[in-house]
Amino acid sequence: MTFASFKQSLTSETTFEQYIKDYFLSHKRLEGSYETHEYFESYTVRMNRNGTLSLKTTTCLNIAAAAIPLKQTEDIRIEDFRELVLNKKFADINETLAQVFEDSLDE
C-alpha cells in the first residue's frame, strides 16, 4: 500500500501504522522542527526493535542569555505518535506537527 503523503496516512490508525513501518524499512529516523522568534522545538523519531517508537524532543526558548534546551526521550506506541501528530498545536495555527514532518520528508 502506497500513500502520497505523511499527512494522508494520518487518516486511520491502520493506515498510519503501515506508513510508519514502511518508512522505517528504508530510513533510520524521521526528523522535523518548528521555530519562531521566541521558541524552538525539534523532533527525532526512531523505530525500536520491539515495534515501538523512540521519540526525542528538544525544546528551547530563543533567549540569548538563557538558551538552555530541554531534551526528553520516551518510547511510545505508533498510535500514540499518530495522536501527538494530530493534536500538537503551534503558535502559528497554519503550521501543524504533521506539516513539520511532511516538509522534512520532501527535502
The model's pLDDT over 18-32, given as tens digits with 9 standing for 90+, comes to 999 999 999 999 999
Find out whether 85 and 8 touch, Cβ atoms under 8 Å: no
Per-residue confidence at 3, pLDDT binned at 50, 70, 90?
low
- Predicted TM-score (pTM) of the model is 0.83
pLDDT digits (tens, 9 = 90+) for 34-50: 988 888 899 999 999 99
Q: Residue ranges per domain, the chain?
A: 6-104
Mean pLDDT for the chain overall: 87
Strand (E) or helix (H) holding 59:
strand 53-61
Contact 1, 63 (CB under 8 A): no
